[in-house]
Amino acid sequence: MTVSGPAQDKDFTIVIYGGCLAGYAARAALSRSLSPQHMIIHIAPNETPACAALYGNSTGPSGYEFFRAVGLEEPDLVTRTNTSFSFGTLFQNWPSRSRQWVQCFVPPFTGVQDLAFDSVVNFHGGNLQSYLISAQAALAGKFAHPPGDPKNPLSRAEYGYNFAVDDITTTIRSKSTASNVEHISGQLQGVAATNGVINHITLTSGRSVAGDLFIDASGTERALMEPLQAEFIAQRSLRASTARSDTPQLGAPCKVVTADDFGWYSVSPLQGYNSLLRVTGAGEASPALPPGFAKYESQFDFQTGTLKKAWIGNCVALGNSASVFEPLTPAPMTLLQRSLKALTELMPSSSNMEVEAKEFNRLHDEDTQNASSFHRAHFLCENAPETAYWQGASDTPICPRLRRKITQFDSRGLVVQYDYEPFNTEDWAILHYGMGRRPRRGDVRLQAMDGSERILDTMSSAISSLVSRMPPHHQYLMKFKEYLEKKQNDYAR
């Protein structure tokens, strides 16, 4: 039996196992950021795992940098994939029939007379959504790129993307052609490890592949981490169902999440079709599809949770191999981006990886705890349906940091923020108010304000006026594509 790699003319060999988004993203990002002395061997099974759907079809504003890191500029996304723009997520019926808000993307709030913006709005009995142009544009189905002029209300918006995982994965693969990358189509047969360190892996073809660093991007299978006895801290057992519906016109620039008795479902507007993802309790019969969708295309059970350590020995888990979230928020994509960035910055230079592993695991633990807190906060609500899914969500323990966040906000509207959270202060403020939480008391300085109500009225009027003049999302994207294609043709000449 011949064992391939590390090659003699290369200093370090990285072996990636996994044919889903995390695997191709790692391959592309590492080949672009590391020197040619790093040999990358990517082993991709022929079949894409069903758990790919758990990336959720959406990113926040950080998606722009993520896609750039893997070689996809925005023109690539718009012209080569079915990707559309997103100002956030519209939650409706959450979890009762009366709750609706847009969990939108915004830059840091501008204070009013040195007081927190959301506190001022609440003091005057206003609706925070009325003063967030990204929320108003999403509700109106309008989109335009935020300009650089700070006097323009649209500059107070940020955006992410709605995308199809398989579409993005295929496009990344087609652009990843670096000379230091070897692609192998194959299925794992076995892992040879000694004292928690992988020596080589064997494929069903009989080929064995050795390396210095191994990356598990196999999804919920955790094909490389399982033989290392990695501990997965499981939380909930759920079922995901997917469907798609062709549509002649692109919808609003936001994903729509709707709660019902069975759980929730999201509809993401993409170029040419809408993508549906439904999450219910594990093993439950699939509910009827919403209007416009004919049949479920795939269904699978999964378990949410996280690895206690995402880096063991010389093996690192990325994406769904490291942690699994319900794709209710952009957390799955955000955590993949953050872990890939951390891996790139902590890339080891020798076989002793203890220091790098310790720091990577610290960041992994912080990120998953913070993302879990944000997710759990969506289920701190009254009047939830008394069904298996919702009772299971309500019974999930509340961690101390989330309890502190809720206590501080309920008390006086203070938005507690921990270091380097994946969701910022504005995300939390919008969520609190969207869920109907209101502080029992406010900053004592609010009583001494003068003219703040006039400032809010002016802001709301300016936003309403601008949104009325913005183009519909489908129209803007069509014109933007025409502009990009013309620019590409002119350049080719």
DSSP 300-318: EEEEEEEES-SEETTEEE-
Q: Residue 216's pLDDT band (boundaries 50, 70, 90)?
A: very high
Q: Region 434-449: what's the mean pLDDT?
A: 86
Helix (H, G, I), strand (E, B) or coil at 130: helix
Query: Which class would CATH give 3-108+159-374?
Result: alpha beta
Q: What integer pLDDT is reported at residue 1 of this predicted model?
A: 39
Helix (H, G, I), strand (E, B) or coil at 204: coil
Query: 83 pLDDT exceeds 90?
Result: yes
Comparison of pLDDT for 371 and 97, the residue scoring more: 371
Q: What integer pLDDT is reported at residue 327 of this predicted model?
A: 96
Query: 177 pLDDT exceeds 80?
Result: no
Q: What integer pLDDT is reported at residue 450 of this predicted model?
A: 79
Query: 12 pLDDT exceeds 80?
Result: yes
Q: Residue 425's pLDDT band (boundaries 50, 70, 90)?
A: very high
Task: Report d(CA 147, CA 155) in Å as an integer.
Answer: 5
- Give the lowest-confidence range in 167-181, 224-238, 261-275, 352-366: 167-181
Structure tokens belonging to residue 319: 């994406």
Query: 15 pLDDT exceeds 70?
Result: yes
Q: Residue 492's pLDDT band (boundaries 50, 70, 90)?
A: low
Task: Report d(CA 396, CA 385) in Å as an integer.
Answer: 15
CA atoms within 13 A on the CB side of 253: 32
Query: 493 pLDDT exceeds 90?
Result: no
Q: What integer pLDDT is reported at residue 112 of this predicted model?
A: 84
Q: Region 49-78: what's the mean pLDDT?
A: 95
Residue 307 phi, psi dihedral angles, 5° rounding: -70, 140
Q: Residue 204's pLDDT band (boundaries 50, 70, 90)?
A: very high
- Determine what percent of the chain is predicted with pLDDT higher than 90: 82
Q: What integer pLDDT is reported at residue 458 of this predicted model?
A: 94
Q: What integer pLDDT is reported at residue 115 of this predicted model?
A: 85
Query: 252 pLDDT exceeds 60?
Result: yes
pLDDT in tens, 121-159: 999 899 999 999 999 999 999 999 999 999 999 999 999
Q: What integer pLDDT is reported at residue 111 of this predicted model?
A: 82
Q: What is the average pLDDT score of the chain?
A: 93
Candidates 216, 327, 333; CA nearest to 279 is: 327
Neighbours of 103 (CB within 10 A): 26
Contacts 24+ apart (CB under 8 A), 224-227: 224/17, 224/188, 224/191, 224/198, 224/315, 224/317, 224/321, 225/307, 225/312, 225/315, 225/317, 225/321, 227/191, 227/193, 227/198
Q: Residue 401's pLDDT band (boundaries 50, 70, 90)?
A: very high
Query: 243 pLDDT exceeds 90?
Result: yes
Q: Region 62-84: what's the mean pLDDT?
A: 95
Query: 201 pLDDT exceeds 80?
Result: yes
Helix (H, G, I), strand (E, B) or coil at 267: strand
